[in-house]
Amino acid sequence: MSANQVFWQSLQPREHRWARMGQRPAIAWLTGLSGAGKSTIADAVDRELTAAGRSTMVLDGDNLRQGLNRDLGFTASDRAENIRRAAEVARLMADAGLVLIVSLISPFRSERVAARAIAGDIPFLEVFIDTPLSVCEARDPKGLYGRARAGKIPSFTGISAPYEAPEAPDLTIKTNGVSIAKSAVPLIEALLSRSAV
């Protein structure tokens, strides 16, 4: 399809939806190694925000790969496309008025910068779930590190593929020796303040 065949369709202003929902949207982008605690924290934050009356949604990397991104592998280009699609969905859902908690390894800074750019004027928080590799590997909740160390998973982030930690995240959450409930508090507070009307 040629670019000159596609035109932006003007629709109801998103602010009308936000006003009806009684909240403003935001996107929290959780990044960190496998086993860092991203999904667990995302779920805890989601539950607390829902209990506080916010309309929310979690976009989890593994869950997205079960459907929307099931055609993608783990090559560099596929990983970049995985991030792009997640960011585009997050932006659409934020335009609908939801508070999004996105849980993806998203190992490269350039991809996280691109995700922030897609968010546009939607408040975007890069949240670094800062858990040492040794701790993630000891947890190994999905048995992935063991398989990666055995050479059964090529290009595994943190082992045979790089992870670029954020240089200036909006929020850093350390999970080593800290309960999930306590780890989630700073993000809950940040999102409650950003989603207030």
Tokens 């909240």 -> residue = 23
Beta carbons of 86 and 61 less than 8 angstroms apart: yes
3-state secondary structure the chain: CCHHHCCCCCCCCHHHHHHHHCCCCEEEEEECCCCCCHHHHHHHHHHHHHHCCCCEEEEEHHHHCCCCCCCCCCCHHHHHHHHHHHHHHHHHHHHCCCEEEEECCCCCHHHHHHHHHHHCCCCEEEEEEECCHHHHHHHCCCCHHHHHHCCCCCCCECCCECCCCCCCCCEEEECCCCCHHHHHHHHHHHHHHHHCC
DSSP 5: G
Catalytic residue among 103, 106, 183, 195: 106
Instruction: Assess whether 106 carries a catalytic annotation.
Output: yes
Q: Which two tokens stand for residue 106?
A: 């998203």
Q: Cite the active site residues.
A: 106
